[in-house]
Amino acid sequence: MNIPQLRFPEFQGDWEQHNLGEIASFSKGKGISKADIVEDGATECIRYGELYTTYGETIDEVKSRTNIDVDDLVLSEENDVIIPASGETQIDIATASCVLRDGIALGGDLNIIKTENNGVFLSYYLNNKKKLEIASLAQGISVVHLYASQLSLLELNLPTKEEQDKIAFFVRSTDEKIQALKKKNSLLEQYKKGVMQKLFSQELRFKDKSGNDFPEWEKKKLGEVVELKNGYAFKSSSYSKNGEFKIITISNVQNGYLDLTTTNKILEVPKDIQSHQILAKEDLLISLTGNVGRVCLVSEADCLLNQRVGKLVPTNISKMFLFQLLRLDKFITQMIADSQGGAQLNLSKGDIDNYEIELPTQEEQILIANFLFSLDEKINSTLSEIDYLQNWKKGLLQKMFC
What tens-digit pLDDT sequence spans the chain (402 residues)? 789 999 999 999 999 999 999 999 999 999 898 999 999 999 999 998 898 889 999 999 999 999 999 999 999 999 999 999 988 888 888 899 999 999 999 998 999 999 999 999 999 999 999 999 998 888 877 788 889 999 999 999 999 999 999 999 999 999 999 999 999 999 999 999 999 999 999 999 999 999 999 999 999 999 999 999 999 999 888 899 889 999 999 999 998 999 999 999 999 999 999 999 999 999 999 999 999 999 999 999 999 999 999 999 999 999 999 999 999 999 999 988 888 766 788 999 999 999 999 999 999 999 999 999 999 999 999 999 999 999 999 999 989 998
* Same domain, yes or no: 279 and 382: no
Q: Is 371 exposed, middle or buried (0-12, 13-18, 19+ CB in 10 A)?
A: middle
* Same domain, yes or no: 298 and 383: no
Provide the CATH number for the domain around residue 272. 3.90.220.20
* Same domain, yes or no: 304 and 348: yes
Give the domain range for residue 367: 160-213+360-402
State residue 49's pLDDT score: 87
* Same domain, yes or no: 333 and 400: no
Provide the CATH number for the domain around residue 372. 1.10.287.1120
* Same domain, yes or no: 23 and 154: yes
* Same domain, yes or no: 75 and 184: no
* Same domain, yes or no: 189 and 260: no
| Count of domains for the chain | 3
* Same domain, yes or no: 191 and 175: yes
Other CB atoms within a 10 A radius of the CB of residue 144 amount to: 21
* Same domain, yes or no: 330 and 393: no
* Same domain, yes or no: 244 and 278: yes
Contact 265, 244 (CB under 8 A): yes
* Same domain, yes or no: 141 and 251: no
Domain-embedded: residue 7: no
Domain-embedded: residue 263: yes
58 closest CA partner among 94, 96, 97? 97
State residue 88's pLDDT score: 83
Other CB atoms within a 10 A radius of the CB of residue 60 amount to: 12
pTM of the model: 0.84
Domain-embedded: residue 4: no
For residue 88, give the 3-state DSSP assignment.
coil
Q: Last residue of some domain: 158, 179, 198?
A: 158
* Same domain, yes or no: 185 and 260: no
